[in-house]
């Protein structure tokens, strides 16, 4: 796998006239693990929304897996895991396998019907993620950690080339969070899946990501994580002792 998985050029975007991103440009090579961090309101989630086509940019261009985002149709090549469901209803009557199967709708043409291949992909993903035993459980009855694992399975059911994670572990306990990140790290290493991880937790980025994008409405730093650790940007952002906090790999 080679070439750029994602290219963003001169991107500006926002909501109702207020600008959340201003002239942002960067690219991510296939197989990279990019951690995206920045303070609250720095435009991290806005960037994710633009990448996924959930928000139209004001200016600039997004190229996804070699195709301009405006004409991108192969959504099965991209997996997305949000922080949580938008308006999660704990009484929603969907089973774990029904939720994971929804991931297979991406890229399907009309009329969207599931076939044996889809069922096999759901089975494979559940087995790989160790959640086959809860296939018939209702999504609302699961713990926060298990629910995020199911949603991750939904994002991975197409074996995507690009995985976008928007603060996926905010509501999880440290142990669950750790196992979650290990799983994504393995996937990046073994399957060469390109990962974009939005998080407040710079230590996690230091531990697992190969590259870092620091945003504050515009790009403050983008590059190799080790380069960030010795950069003036890092010292400017985190102070003299920041290197130990941010760059210490456990």
Partner 1 sequence: MNITEMLSYGFMQRALVGGSLIAILCSVLGVFLVLRRLSLIGDGLSHVTFGSVALALFFRLHSFYMTLAIIPVVLACAMGILKLAQKARIYGDAAIGIVSALGIATGVMLASLAGGFNVDLFSYLFGNILSISSSELAIAALLFCVVLAGVGIFYNDLFASTFDEELAKSSGIDTDRINAILVLLTALTVVLAMKVVGIMLISALLILPAVSALQLAKGFRTAIVLAAGIGVCTVVTGISLSFVMNLPTGATIVLINFLTFVCAFAARSVLRKR
Residue nearer to partner 1 on the CB measure, 123 or 233 = 123
DSSP helix/strand/coil, 86: coil
Q: Which is nearer to partner 1, 100 or 215 (CB)?
A: 100
**220 vs 218: CA distance, rounded Å:** 6
CB of 233 to partner 1, least distance (A): 31
Nearer to partner 1 among residue 139 and residue 215 (C-beta): 139
By the criterion CB under 8 A, which residues form the site for partner 1? Answer: 52-54, 73, 75, 78, 80, 82, 85-89, 91-95, 98-99, 102-103, 105-107, 111-114, 136, 138, 154
Token readout for 143 is 């713990």
8 pairs with which residues across the strands?
A: 26, 62
**Min separation Cβ 103 and partner 1, Å:** 7
Residue 218: other Cβ atoms inside 10 A: 16
Cβ-based neighbours of 144, under 8 Å, separated by 6 or more: 171, 172, 176
**DSSP 8-state symbol, 88:** -
- The least CB distance from residue 75 to partner 1, in Å, is 4
Q: What residues contact residue 221 under an 8 Å CB cut-off, 6+ apart? A: 212, 213, 214, 228, 231, 233, 234
> Can you give the length of the chain in residues?
250
Q: How far is the CB of 240 from partner 1 (least distance, A)?
A: 41
Cβ 52 to partner 1 shortest distance, Å: 5
136 or 174, CB closer to partner 1?
136
Q: Which is nearer to partner 1, 97 or 234 (CB)?
A: 97
């Amino acid at each position: 796998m080679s070439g750029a998985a994602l290219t963003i050029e001169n991107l500006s975007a926002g909501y109702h006239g207020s600008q959340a991103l201003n002239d942002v440009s960067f690219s991510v090579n296939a197989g990279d693990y990019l951690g995206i961090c920045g303070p609250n309101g720095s435009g991290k989630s806005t960037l994710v929304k633009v990448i996924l086509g959930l928000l139209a940019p004001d200016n600039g261009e997004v190229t996804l897996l070699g195709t301009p985002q405006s004409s991108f149709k192969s959504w099965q090549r991209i997996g997305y895991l949000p922080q949580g469901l938008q308006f999660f209803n704990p009484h929603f009557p969907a089973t774990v396998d029904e939720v994971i199967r929804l991931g297979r709708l991406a890229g399907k043409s009309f009329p969207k019907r599931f076939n044996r291949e889809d069922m096999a992909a759901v089975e494979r993903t559940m087995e790989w993620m160790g959640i086959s035993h809860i296939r018939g459980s209702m999504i609302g009855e699961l713990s926060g950690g298990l629910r995020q694992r199911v949603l991750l399975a939904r994002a991975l059911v197409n074996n995507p080339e690009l995985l976008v994670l928007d603060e996926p572990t905010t509501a999880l306990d440290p142990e669950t969070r750790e196992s979650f990140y290990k799983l994504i790290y393995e996937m990046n290493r073994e399957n060469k899946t390109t990962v974009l991880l939005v998080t407040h937790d710079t230590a996690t980025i230091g531990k697992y990501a190969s590259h870092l994008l620091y945003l504050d409405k515009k790009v403050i730093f983008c590059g190799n994580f080790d380069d960030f650790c010795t950069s003036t940007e890092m010292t400017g952002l985190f102070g003299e002792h920041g290197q130990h906090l941010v760059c210490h790999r456990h």
